[in-house]
A and B are shown apart, each in its own frame.
Chain A
Amino acid sequence: MAKLTDDLMQETLSTHLQEGETLEHWAFGIQQPNMLLMLPLFALAILPGVIATQMLTKNYLAGLTNKRFVVLQVKSVVNVELKALTEYARDDFAASPASYRPGKLFTHIKINSAEKPFKCKFHRMLSKDNRMHAEAMGAAISAP
């Protein structure tokens, strides 16, 4: 389908002109539904995706001790009620190091364990030192 150009608009309108009539101006326009209807419809289209993403997101609180890398799965960022706990001995990373990638927005940590695989990204904006701590943990377990 050809994109509507100035020539195509003139050509389309010209077929409806009467004899001796000349076209002076032309433009393309739209009529949309009322904004009071459009806004709920946009919300209807976007909200299920936002809610689904939120429902499928897992929240982790990770910590590195002198012996272990401990991962707490918590309910949400505002409710740190414990849901699950996974731990890795720091010594284990010597044999199979984790991978870590410091991005501009997120610091990614991935542990390729057959028994306890773990993949998580830490947002730099969560707290003042979130990025620093995430990078320090990533560096420690990726190159022990």
Chain B
Amino acid sequence: MRACPFCSNAEGGNPCGLCGRAPTASRKVCAACKKMTPLDEPQCSHCGTALRSELRWKIPVIVAMFVAAISVSAIVEVFMR
């Protein structure tokens, strides 16, 4: 019998007899408590921290980089005239 990766229930089961989650579900490491939590749940199953996609900060950073690059190019072009 395999222990549940989310609640560590040694009895296991599919779904887990204690927390009711599928033991083979995709999971990620919570940034706050560093424990495994289901990927498809909005909050960490252990500490309750909201799980946010990394794209929330990556996309704005990428857009800002391109805007900065285009702005610098435009400024250089104006000053090179």
**Count of CB-CB pairs between chains A and B under 8 Å:** 49
Mask, B44-81, CB within 8 Å of A = 1, is 00000000000000100110011011001100100010
User: Which among A47, A83, A85, A115 has the greatest number of chain B C-beta atoms within 10 A?
Assistant: A85
A89 at the interface (CB under 8 A from B): yes
| Residues of chain A contacted by B69 (CB below 8 angstroms) | 44-45, 47-48
Say whether B19 faces chain A, with CB atoms less than 8 Å apart.
no
Contacts of A41 in B (CB 8 A): 73, 76
Nearest A residue to B31, CB-CB: A83
Number of interface residues of A (CB under 8 A): 22
Q: Would you call B29 and A84 a contact (CB within 8 A)?
A: yes
Mostly, the A contact residues are mixed
A76-111: CB near B (< 8 Å → 1, else 0) gives 000000111111110000000000000000000000
Q: Collect the chain B residues with CB atoms within 8 Å of residue A4's CB.
A: none
Pick from A15-23, A50-58, A121-129, A132-140 the stretch touching chain B.
A50-58
Q: Mark A20-50, 1 if CB is under 8 A from B, else 0.
A: 0000000000000100010001001101100
Chain B residues within CB distance 8 Å of chain A: 24-29, 36, 39, 58, 61-62, 65-66, 68-69, 72-73, 76, 80
